[in-house]
Structure 1
Amino acid sequence: NIDSNPFKGMDPVFLTISRLRRQKLDESIAVSTDLLSRNAFDQQVWWVKCRALTNKNWIDDAEMEEEGLAEVLMDDNATSSLPRPGTSLNRPQTNANGPSPAVRPMSNSGRPMSGFARP
């Protein structure tokens, strides 16, 4: 009831916003409900009441995301500690004993051999 307002002369809309900011949500909802019973078209009071109801029923889902043992063990996106076969950079080269592919055989004149016979 706004008539029992201890702050005589204070705007009731400001009072409900002040109570919302101070997290006195039940008092803010009560004042907003009383104001809306007098004027149901006051959009700022509707906003304050909706905001107070939302804050009152807020569920902090940050703590709900804790992973259980099953999620940790069965995680499909986990990085494997062993590389996939054939993809490791530490694997031996297939042609480790032969000449490097970067070194091409040279002819007597110093030109690289192309593999084609010249006419």
Structure 2
Amino acid sequence: MSFDTDTLVFDNAGLIPAIAQDCESGEVLMMAWMNAEAVGRTLETGRVTYWSRSRSSFWVKGESSGHVQELVDFRVDCDRDCLLLQVRQTGPACHTNRRSCFFTALRAGEEVELMAPMG
């Protein structure tokens, strides 16, 4: 059975949220958006491809930075409106040069940075 992107539930802009998770540690790395073609490209190449809303173009993770996401497992949630991409991450996932985009926590009403930029 082959995967049909028509079974996914995209928003009014034709996008679906995709959460990238480290395949070994389980750490949540980032969230970005995909359209049907980005999903297809990701499944075809094994290199995670997102849709950049700000640039209105495809964005192959790591194409310019070298911080590649290699797809290990592709999962669809129960409502088919969100994706979980288990990836092998090379370097930082966040554009701030941190391992994860989720580096800010709220502790006792204050924001606390949990990790510094890499390298």
When normalised by structure 2's length, the TM-score is 0.22
**Bigger RCO of structures 1 and 2 (CA < 8 A, at least 6 apart):** 2
Structure holding more strand per residue:
2
Structure holding more helix per residue:
1
When normalised by structure 1's length, the TM-score is 0.22
